[in-house]
Structure 1
């Protein structure tokens, strides 16, 4: 793609560029991480590491982000997602009791310590899932929603495809090791983003530090919740095959970052590496707003319309994350055909705005901001005559 500087006639964008040294953008959920930073990321002990600024969708770090890996208990993020979805759709509720089967009760590894034959409220199972990382809670939730864990795994895989998690396949609700149970760091980041964006009313469960069940008090296994780094979720994982992993998210100075690391050699490394990588992401970059949704980008000529031109806008906020030293790399290109043929309908996609910066790129649809009917009768005749005599 040919790179062009900001056009001086694009006043909205020019104003935004003039404010780059001062602006920050609050967290806004983006559809998919779409661009990469050119800044050199630090070395890390993690086999996989993926760091994204959710305020702009910019990927700040990608180490083996598409490599297949064992998600271990980070699988429980998908289990929680499906539970949240079932609650919002009315298929269950936080107060619904789910029975505890022998299969759930006998699960090994980390546990909530539910009793076989008892019934446990969905909300308590959620806390057991997310705070205690209970494998027994995961199976009880899966069976309560789908009838069996295998049927629930089918729902997990269908949801993964729906969310765009193309490198993932689930065999169970807990993350219990299985050769056909895998994901990628990129996919977990995508899932984490959807958890935050789609179900903000439930996100507080990810940050609860302790939960007591059956007389046993357990602390949240996410070590970053106990550090003053601004992290408020999401989930740890550990198996022999996957190593130590963590999906973590937090907000600092109006910027929400999300980090996935996996394959770390120890629990101590899982404590230290995420703090270091998140600090790098927060301290080394800033989010710069360019346009607000609905703000006019340009006024474009219209062919044979009742109006001679139409304003075009973006349907979403447009912002970029940059290292301050990379601000001069920002380039913007409008891609549309002029004049636009009539009729034009408000909200119609008429072109794209390509934002290119520091090795990354994102494309945003340009939308017509008004209806422009095709010219008819004498108006059309007059327009044709004017074209003939130019």
Structure 2
């Protein structure tokens, strides 16, 4: 993901400079991208922001959002132990996983870190089942929430983002989703900036390389499938003169390499 991280860094810095110096927005080799000033709500620059694409693991942002909501509403607790189903355990063995096991209950809190830091597809299913009772019911909740947020060109078919023609979104919609996570659950949003997480004696690093390359970046998520290409949403707080910090959100979808 290093090349993609550099592209996003260019977007974050370049468009920020563009506002101050009226220079051209950066050229990014992606199907679709968008840079949002989250403070003002202004789209600073974009390319094909309404193009419908598969979001890969960026889907997990909505999954996390609904778990945060369930914790807030006291439907689940962070310390609650979840029994891992065989269905969650068996999710695409060749994909990114947290490596949970049906024989070992796991805390909701650990599953959240496994979801957002390790990008575990097994964690996504386990959380969906813990919150909604079944993956299908949880997916219905995801789509209901998408409608509430005004994500007009988004539809979810699973909680993890593995390939499905019925799992799609746009750079525009994903920027709104990212903004909701940051604004609605700032304490939980801090999970996105954790650089590594260890579960069951297996340590995995956050795939968001910008956390190492740029100290102003504090989230959000990367994703990749053959269908989606390489995808990333990043957010950073940039100095904005006397006005204080300005938060920027960059969405880059469908690059050919990481």
TM-score band, normalised by shorter chain: 0.7 to 0.9
Report the Cα distance in structure 2 between the residues aligned to 1:176 and 1:263, rounded to whole angstroms. 15
Q: 1:41 aligns with which of 10, 25, 29?
A: 25
Matched, 1:228 2:219: no
Give the drift of 1:252: 1.6
TM-score normalized by the length of structure 2: 0.87
Report the Cα distance in structure 2 between the residues aligned to 1:78 and 1:110, rounded to whole angstroms. 18
Aligned residue runs from structure 1 range 140-289, under 5 A? 140-253=126-239, 254-267=245-258
Report the Cα distance in structure 2 between the residues aligned to 1:39 and 1:144, rounded to whole angstroms. 49
Matched, 1:106 2:97: no
Give the structure with higher Rg (CA).
1
Does the CA contact (< 8 Å) of 1:45 and 1:264 recur in 2?
yes
Aligned residue runs from structure 1 range 285-364, under 5 A? none
Cα RMSD (Å): 1.2
Report the Cα distance in structure 1 between the residues aligned to 2:188 and 2:197, rounded to whole angstroms. 16
Flag as ranges the 4+ runs of structure 1 deviating above 6 A. Answer: none
Which structure is higher in helix share?
A: 2
Alignment: residue pair count: 231
Report the Cα distance in structure 2 between the residues aligned to 1:197 and 1:39, rounded to whole angstroms. 29
Query: Which residue does the alignment assign to 1:278?
Result: none
Match of 2:69, SS state, is helix
TM-score normalized by the length of structure 1: 0.58
Q: 1:80 aligns with which of 56, 64, 69?
A: 64
Q: 1:124 aligns with which of 92, 110, 113?
A: 110
Q: 1:92 aligns with which of 51, 76, 79?
A: 76
Consecutive unaligned residues in structure 2, runs of 5 or more? 1-18, 240-244
Give the drift of 1:203: 1.0
RCO comparison, higher one (Cα < 8 Å, 6+): 2
Report the Cα distance in structure 2 between the residues aligned to 1:166 and 1:96, rounded to whole angstroms. 34
Report the Cα distance in structure 1 between the residues aligned to 2:165 and 2:114, rounded to whole angstroms. 26
Give the drift of 1:39: 6.5
Matched, 1:64 2:48: yes
Superimposed CA distance per residue, residues 42-80 of structure 1 (whole angstroms, 9 cap, x where no aligned partner):
221011101011121110112111110000000000000
Consecutive unaligned residues in structure 1, runs of 5 or more? 1-36, 268-390
Report the Cα distance in structure 2 between the residues aligned to 1:219 and 1:101, rounded to whole angstroms. 25
Which structure is higher in strand share?
A: 1
Query: Which residue does the alignment assign to 1:307?
Result: none
